[in-house]
Amino acid sequence: MMQTIPNPWGRALLSAAAILIVTAGTAATAAAPTVPLIDAAGLRKQVAARKNKVVVVNFWATWCGPCVEEFPGLVALQKKYKAKGMDLVTVSFDDPKDIPGKVKPFLTRSGLSTGTFVNRGGAEVDEGYLKFLEPKLPADAAVALPRTYIFSRSGKLVKTLIAGQTPAQFEKAVAPYLK
């Protein structure tokens, strides 16, 4: 006949393991960036709210190779110049339903956790973006990703970068406005 001997440490170890599992799950969730939806009007507000900062707005998507390739350069730029008054705002053109499965994991891997949004219309470009960012562009023009817009400290759009950029190109474009 088998006899069970009570182990006073058994419950304590089991409780400690359960706490670790719950805490680890909470920490992973807390580290995941918040990625709200945005439209052209919301982007205008985001830029205006960053008055007295050089604002870099980047349009990108996880399905865009050049976007993914240039993204680490943007994150490095933000880290390097945040203290000098630069702020990065990124707008993903992924489908909003892909936020949990694609966008958040990508942002977590990249190390960017603030100033990130997903276009409310997914890959559909809101005409308001073009009126705000590229008023001279015809309304029916094709807009390719990635696209980066730089605003001066006064809130004026001063530079548009089309296609993928290297870290050096980003730095060259932003540095004059940080003085």
Domain assignment of residue 28, yes or no: no
pTM recorded for the entire structure: 0.79
| Structure token pair of residue 81 | 């110049």
Mean pLDDT by 10 residues, the chain (179 residues): 46 42 42 83 94 95 96 95 95 94 94 87 77 78 87 95 93 94
pLDDT at 123 (0 to 100): 74
Site of tokens 């985001």:
46
pLDDT at 21 (0 to 100): 43
Domain assignment of residue 27, yes or no: no
**Domain containing residue 116:** 33-178
Domain assignment of residue 100, yes or no: yes
Domain assignment of residue 37, yes or no: yes
Give the number of other CB atoms < 10 A from CB of residue 68: 16
Domain assignment of residue 20, yes or no: no
pLDDT at 13 (0 to 100): 38
Q: Residue 96 sits in a domain of what CATH number?
A: 3.40.30.10
pLDDT at 31 (0 to 100): 59
d(C-alpha 123, C-alpha 61), whole Å: 9
Q: How many domains does the chain have?
A: 1
- Pure H helices in 82-140: 104-110, 127-133
Domain assignment of residue 144, yes or no: yes
Domain assignment of residue 12, yes or no: no
Domain assignment of residue 52, yes or no: yes
CA atoms within 13 A on the CB side of 11: 3
pLDDT at 32 (0 to 100): 65
